[in-house]
Structure 1
Amino acid sequence: MSTQRSGLVFDERFLAHDTGSESRVQMRSGFFDLTPEPHPSSAVITRRIKEFLDGSGLTAQMLPIAAREAIDEELLPYHTREYLAGIREHCYGGPKEGPWGSIDEETVLNPGSYEAARYAVGGALNAVATVLQGQVRNAYALLRPPGHHALRNQAYGFCIFNNAVLAAQYARKQFGIERIMIVDWDVHHGNGIQDAFYADPDVLFVSLHQQNWFPRLSGELEQVGCGAGVGTTVNIPLPPGTGDRGYQAAFEQIVLPIGLQFRPQLILVSAGQDASWLDPLAQMMMTMDGYRRISALLVQLAEEVCEGRLVMVQEGGYSAPYVPYCTVAAVEPLLGADLGIVDLYATAPELELCQSIFSDETQRALQTIRNWQRQWWKL
């Protein structure tokens, strides 16, 4: 039995998924180039998170969990065999679409992406195994590429294989876990996770995301599951500018009460730190302190319902300066630690607003969501 409470997955092979840079400006007729800027989903951000974990001393307090290459049989519970072959072929110059499936225009792959994606899945599976075997109470999987947008036969929204979906299926098949709760706090809706478990009453999927954002028409309040799974898809679309207090209220008023009623045996978190106030791809105004609070609430829920068994897997987050701060703030509660890290913009008036705002629009949205979810849950 390890003396560490929490585990950490990271592998340098994740960084071989190189999305390159963006420089070309396309005109109606012709083009010109600017100084290259890294793709939003850059390996630099993942590396900076790991360096922040190392420098803060958190890595030394966590059990290292090795990643490994997931085998086909661990990918096939969601993805098709043809899709695996199509992705591999594209990484070496093959087409972006075919009878096997497709890759959307925003998802950039290179020769290192296929192995990185398989190792990311294997890292998620090993994190689950380490927690369920009792070696640690919880774990953070610092994965790349992310996964929650990936569909059965489509790479989408920077995602190739759906790490969270495959981790849940692995927990069921290998460990006999019957009830799993997946909380997705990435600012973009986890359409791939929703797709995988839409008719499944034994996987509770709860997504908090910016309303009417990405993917289009995905994550609407009315999307609640189908067949036996009606009620176990819980979408919490939030207005721009929700901020720390709004997110905390969403957890306290909706996520935690539903989790207490469902009583999962394992909680997975799709942890995308792209709802921050500095993220270029959204407008939700969260701070590192807000991430620390919602992480602590999920740790508390896990302690109450499933002996602390909680696994967080990295999803999005596109502010290279700030994502490491928010990620470390999310990791601290896993260890019961508060390192006293000073926010990158501690003196900024915008930061204070992000921490204090709780708009009428946000409060109305939460009330609407509660009223709707009362058809299936006591709220």
Structure 2
Amino acid sequence: MQKFRTGFLFDTHFLAHDSGVETTVRLRDRTFELAPEPHPSDVTITRRTHEFLVKSGLASMMLPLQARAASEDEVALFHTRDYIEGIKAYAAGGPSQGAWGYVDEDTVIKPTSLEAAFYAVGGALNAVDAVMAGTVRNCYALLRPPCHHATRNQGLGYCIFNNTALAALYARRRYGLERVMIVDWDAHHGNGTQDAFYDDPNVLFVSLHQQNWYPKDSGNLEEIGQGAGAGLTVNIPLPPGTGDKGYQMAFEQLVVPIGRQFRPQLILITAGQDPSWLDPLTQLMMTMNGFRQISRQMVQLAEEVCDGRLVMLQAGGYSAPYVPFCTAAAVEPLIGVDLGIVDLYDGADELETSATILLKETQEALTRAREWHSQWWKL
């Protein structure tokens, strides 16, 4: 009998990824420097989240799991060998060669970042192992760096390797799974994960994200997969101000019914806390209670269709004060507890008044999504 229902995977190697600071302002024809500010994906957010889970007592309710460095062969399940070698060479350089810096305009990599990235992949794979072996029923992995923008041969949007895509491919290969469901509730579209499975009939990819946001021209409703994978990419673009009620409706009307019909053998969640109302990079306006609600819905779906097998992988989230609260709220349903954590700011519930005004636009967006995806699913 399992002593712990939920695993908690964290490793200090993840903290070695240093995103640096932001100083440069870009205009059309020039740039200039300001006093340094922390990078949006600052390591402080991960540190605070880990500390919150420990001091709140949630960590003690979960089985501690260890990460490991993934092998290059494991990373090559998705990424090209040339990309892996390029990242290694880039990280091995130094300031004198101009090599340390940005993989793209947003994504920092240094020698310690490379180590963290290999450990983040290995952590995701170990989390899958723990759930598939029955050591725990589900697992939360506090990974860093994030993952879902990374394509086969390009780091993008703070992401170096695609932990979620690699976890799905690993689960398919090692355990012979025929159906894996990925739910990506990060506020930005998981373009890299979508690309990984666009023509794959064995992986269902569902993404809820702010419409027309990042990456540009990615995550449109009409992107549904191709060939044998047609219909198995489910994009649900959401308008700014969607809020808790809008997310709850999206899960009730689309995510859960589609999941029931697909009947996955394992559910992976790319869990970004950047849809929150305090996130500086998005405008989706969820509170911590919204994260609790959608996590509970996914736990219930997993219990219904795949004996509870669910792995939640940490992704984005750029509000250092609020991400720990939202993460704790998402983790509670995995364990099956409610600690009564008080929202960071009194008055957060007042957002629902504004969200109600915006709800009509969200309802219209969900109606369009239901009508479109009804070509492949009973909705």
Tell me the TM-score range normalised by the shorter chain.
over 0.9
Matches within 5 A, 1:353-368: 353=353, 359-368=359-368
Secondary structure at the counterpart of residue 111 of structure 2:
coil
Q: Distance in 2 between matches of 1:246 and 1:26?
A: 35
Say if 2:242 and 2:355, in contact at 8 Å, map to a contact too: no
The answer to whether the 8 A contact 2:103-2:109 is kept is no
Q: Which residue of 2 aligns with 1:195?
A: 195
Match of residue 334 from structure 1? 334
| CA offsets 1:211-235 (integer angstroms, 9 cap, x no match) | 0000111100000000010000000
Deviation for aligned residue 1:93: 2.6
- Retained in 2: the 8 A contact 1:244–1:357? no
Q: Which amino acid aligns with 1:223?
A: E
Structure 1: gaps (5+ residues): none
Letter in 1 for 2:32: F
Q: Is the alpha carbon distance of 1:335 and 1:356 closer, same or farther for their aligned partners in structure 2, counting shifts above 3 Å?
A: farther
* Partners of 1:286 and 1:355 within 8 A in 2: no
Q: Does 1:86 align with 2:73?
A: no
Query: Which residue number in structure 1 is paired with residue 266 of structure 2?
Result: 266
Q: Aligned letter for 2:170?
A: Y
Query: Is this contact kept in 2: 1:285–1:354, CA < 8 A?
Result: no
The equivalent residue for 2:289 is 289
- Is the aligned partner of 1:134 residue 2:134? yes
Post-superposition Cα deviations, 1:233-274, rounded to whole Å, max 9, x if no partner, equal 000000000000000000000000000000000000000000
Q: Any residues of structure 2 matched to 1:172-187 within 5 Å, and which?
A: 172-187=172-187
Moved more, 174-183 or 345-354: 345-354
SS of the residue corresponding to residue 154 of structure 1 reads: coil
- 1: CA distance, partners of 2:301 / 2:285: 24
Partner of 1:31: 32
1:199-238, aligned counterparts within 5 Å? 199-238=199-238
Identity score, percent:
65
Structure 1's 158 and 32: CA in aligned 2 closer, same or farther, altered over 3 A?
A: closer
Task: Tell me whether 1:276 sits opposite 2:240 in the alignment.
Answer: no
- TM-superposed CA distance for 1:91, in Å, is 1.3
Structure 2: distance between partners of 1:356 and 1:143: 34
1:132 counterpart letter in structure 2: M
Aligned-partner Cα distance in 1 for 2:336–2:4: 11
Confirm or deny that 1:13 pairs with 2:37. Answer: no
Q: Is this contact kept in 1: 2:65–2:127, CA < 8 A?
A: yes
Does the 8 A contact of 2:140 with 2:331 survive in 1? Answer: yes
SS state at 1:52 partner: helix
Q: Residue by residue, what CA displacement relative to the aligned partner does 1:287-313 show, whole Å, maximum 9, x if unpaired? A: 000000000000000000000000000
Query: Structure 2 CA distance, aligned partners of 1:166 and 1:325?
Result: 28
Q: Match of 1:50, SS? A: helix
Give the corresponding residue for 2:61.
Answer: 61
Between stretches 21-30 and 11-20, larger displacement belongs to 21-30
Deviation at 1:80, TM superposition (A): 1.1
2:313 equivalent to 1:313? yes
The residue correspondences of 1:251-262 to structure 2 (distance < 5 A) are: 251-262=251-262
Question: Secondary structure of the equivalent of 1:112?
Answer: helix
Q: Does the aligned pair in 1 maintain the 2:243–2:352 contact within 8 Å?
A: no
Counterpart CA distance in 2 for 1:22 and 1:169 is 35
Query: Are residues 373 and 24 of structure 1, via their aligned partners in 2, closer, same or farther at CA, if it must alter by over 3 Å?
Result: closer
Cα distance in 1 for residues equivalent to 2:329 and 2:77: 33
Q: Distance in 2 between matches of 1:220 and 1:289?
A: 27
1:360: how far off?
1.0
Contact 1:19 1:108 (C-alpha < 8 Å) held by counterparts: yes
**2:141–2:311 contact (8 Å) kept in structure 1:** yes
CA 1:30–1:307: 2 relative to 1, 3 Å: closer
**Distance in 1 between residues matched to 2:295 and 2:198, nearest whole Å:** 25
Q: Deviations over 1:22-51 (max 9, x none)?
A: 2344675673432x2110011100011000
Match of 2:115 in 1: 115
Amino acid in structure 1 at the alignment position of 2:149: H
**Aligned partner letter, 2:136:** V
1:302-329 Cα offsets, whole Å, 9 max, x none, are: 0000000000001100000001100000
Q: Distance in 2 between matches of 1:140 and 1:29?
A: 43
Shift of 1:351: 3.7
Q: Which 4+ runs in 1 deviate beyond 4 A?
A: 25-30, 94-97, 354-358
- Note if 1:240 corresponds to 2:240: yes
Q: For residues 25 and 376 of structure 1, do their structure 2 counterparts lie closer, same or farther at Cα, with a shift above 3 Å needed?
A: closer
Give the drift of 1:73: 1.4
Counterpart of 1:160 in structure 2 is 160
TM-score (norm 2): 0.95
d(CA) in 2 for partners of 1:266, 1:333? 17
Are residues 1:125 and 2:125 paired?
yes
The letter of the residue matching 2:146 is P
Deviation at 1:355, TM superposition (A): 6.7
Q: Is the 8 A contact 1:345 1:351 kept in 2?
A: no
Determine the structure 2 residue equivalent to 1:375. 375
Select between 103-112 and 328-337 the one with higher mean Cα deviation. 103-112
C-alpha displacement of 1:105: 1.1
The change in CA–CA distance for 1:30 and 1:154 in structure 2 (over 3 A counts) is closer
TM-score with structure 1 length normalisation? 0.95
Q: Contact 2:149/2:162 (CA < 8 Å) preserved in 1?
A: yes
Give the C-alpha shift of residue 359 in structure 1.
1.6
Rounded to whole Å, the distance in 2 between the matches of 1:10 and 1:30 is 38
Structure 2 counterpart of 1:128, which letter?
V
